[in-house]
Structure 1
């Protein structure tokens, strides 16, 4: 029986980081140093592709697309059984969802990282890499393997800053509807966090800065204020797409509240409900829909 071949795409992050004399961590390790022993323990062959070596908090959509392209290139080889992406945890859920949106292959793509640096005396990196490599043979779709738990990419969110079980799954699986790819620059899409008594200044500023899309992180099930509703209407009049999500960790947006600033008023002003997608992944979907020219309302209705 042939030993499965897994392509490992590395991007940096904590899993590739070491701590310097001042106690500051930064990504210093190449992919080869991260997978050798884990590959043997997982019973797979590996081919390492270093796509990036950065802190994931700095990733742009262009950078994330570099990762998507590296995964697609790997899957062009019919001998490859699956792909593992080693990634920083700060934006792992965004890259995972961008991969999920553009994955139309029977073979799995598994993302992992670590909460502790590679040189930490009790690092979680080797166990996570080994889990990811095994999952790249046995799982399906785009998933996150972390802390012994396997989480679907769509709807996933980092649930804790330091806990070794870092990622939570959505309360129920989200639909997987692949999206066509497109060339050209990524549109600017901003995230605005709502708060009680908020005015419309931040939304107006996004429009003035050239945003083509805004994700509004509302309160409760997706609510704001009359001033925000007015700003949403101004943004839509200017041709800027607005998507409504919520700061609540679980559950969908519900456009049922009124009183001038509720979700029903925001929807009437042109905001599109994000369903169960939270702000980070809603931003990725909105940018991808705008880039490919798909109707935003239809795109979120199919995937949120």
Structure 2
């Protein structure tokens, strides 16, 4: 696999390992647990023709990730891309919450250097594990001049995705990721990396600080017969913001509408998203629908995927910003 264009000197890529399925193996109890080191992952991946340095940040399944863990990853990535001798960074990560970490990293990434997340759907001790190939390809992407200026990427099963709209769409398939409203921006093959679409990114947010660790943003779904009990409980537990996962194009009901009016009046940020995997929030319906919710003060989160929207509000709130439609506009 070509790791660089002809005539280019060997690139240096940093691999930051955080755990996930790519680092997991079965335990005596039968369940797979993250335990492989970055060095072990690189050995299994084989040579990619790139100068690679590895660092173990943590060993956790991404279903255990906290805001503090994500901030730790963001700080480590920023430190590595600041090095003059580094061309790009790869983060190995569990697929369960890769979309959240990837999007958060993209929000604060201010370098032209590629940052690439990858992982696996099959544990490292599986006969058909996909981790080594995915890691080798991610290193190739991080080393490629074509990936510069694309922000944070997810490289998986030969496809390259922009983190900003990419979600996990399948629990088990070896190709679990898809981009809402679009497709991969490039591919990796034996000939190297080919980027066919370049993402348009807003200006980066300031680096995350300790406030991000404890900021609470909850997600409350809308479904038949739903009342406002979960939303009220979220605020009582300390949520600074609540994202409503509305039905259809962002609809609620009369109970949710009454709650939104009171929550906004008392200072809770309410974001309006949708439980539908693809498509934007569009105020079409009244009578408790999105038209009424937005009029009551809920912030229309547009086509930002549901759990990306949660990360966006958490990052903005932790910076001390007053979140409103004007502040959100560049991200929608």
TM-score, reference length from structure 1: 0.96
Q: 1:60 to 1:226 in 2, by over 3 A?
A: same
Shift in Å, 1:179:
1.0
Shift in Å, 1:175:
3.9
2:291 matches 1:256: no
Query: Where does residue 331 of structure 2 map in the other structure?
Result: 303
Whether the 8 Å CA contact 2:180–2:305 is kept in 1: the answer is no
Matches of 1:102 and 1:298 in 2, distance apart?
19
Whether the 8 Å CA contact 1:25–1:117 is kept in 2: the answer is yes
Shift in Å, 1:2:
3.1
Matches of 1:43 and 1:25 in 2, distance apart?
31
Query: Where does residue 94 of structure 2 map in the other structure?
Result: 88
Which of 229, 234, 242 aligns to 1:201? It is: 229
Query: Where does residue 12 of structure 1 map in the other structure?
Result: 19
Query: Where does residue 263 of structure 2 map in the other structure?
Result: 235
Shift in Å, 1:182:
4.4
Which of 278, 302, 308 aligns to 1:275? It is: 302
Matches of 1:272 and 1:201 in 2, distance apart?
20
Whether the 8 Å CA contact 1:30–1:50 is kept in 2: the answer is yes
Alignment map for 1:147-186 (pairs within 5 Å): 147-172=157-182, 175-186=201-212
Shift in Å, 1:23:
2.4
Shift in Å, 1:63:
0.7
Matches of 1:20 and 1:96 in 2, distance apart?
28
Matches of 1:83 and 1:36 in 2, distance apart?
17
Whether the 8 Å CA contact 1:108–1:141 is kept in 2: the answer is yes
Whether the 8 Å CA contact 2:46–2:132 is kept in 1: the answer is no
What's the Cα RMSD here? 1.4
Matches of 1:84 and 1:179 in 2, distance apart?
21
Gaps of 5+ in 1: none
Shift in Å, 1:193:
1.4
Which of 300, 315, 325 aligns to 1:288? It is: 315
Which of 274, 280, 297 aligns to 1:246? It is: 274
Q: 1:174 to 1:212 in 2, by over 3 A?
A: farther
TM-score, reference length from structure 2: 0.88
Gaps of 5+ in 2: 1-7, 183-198
Query: Where does residue 144 of structure 1 map in the other structure?
Result: 154
